Amino acid sequence: MAEKEPVLLTILIDTRRMRWLAGGIGFDKQVFPLLASQDDDLAGYRSMEFDEQASFLRHRFCGALQRGCDRLWGLRKKAFQFVFLTDSVFPGAPDELTDRIADHLAQWMTNPPVVFFSSDAGSFDVSPVAVTRLAGDISAEFSTAFDAGLPALLEAATQTDQWEQVPLPKVQSR
Partner 1 sequence: MSTGTKHPILIVDDEPDVLFSLKGLLRHDFELYTAESGEQALEILRQHTIHVIMTDQRMPGMTGAQLVRQARTLYPDAVLIVFTGYADIKAVIEAINTGGLYRYITKPWDPDELIDVLQHAAKRYDEHAARVRFAHDAKSFANDVVQHVEAGDLNGDDAAAVKPLVDRGRLLASQADPFL
Q: By the criterion CB under 8 A, which residues form the site for partner 1?
A: 1, 55, 58-59, 61-63, 65-71, 73-74, 78, 104-105, 107-109, 166-167, 169-174
- For partner 1, the closer CB: 147 or 164: 164
Burial letters 143-164, b for 16+ CB under 10 A, else e: bebbebbbeebbebbeeeebbe
Q: Do you find a cis peptide bond into 112, omega within 30 degrees of 0?
A: yes
Q: How far is the CB of 149 from partner 1 (least distance, A)?
A: 20
Shortest distance, CB of residue 139 to partner 1, whole angstroms?
19
Which lies closer to partner 1 via its Cβ, residue 78 or residue 151? 78
Distance CA 166, CA 89 (A): 23
Nearer of residues 102 and 129 to partner 1, judged by Cβ: 102
Instruction: Give whichever of 73 and 123 is closer to partner 1, judged by the CB atom.
Output: 73
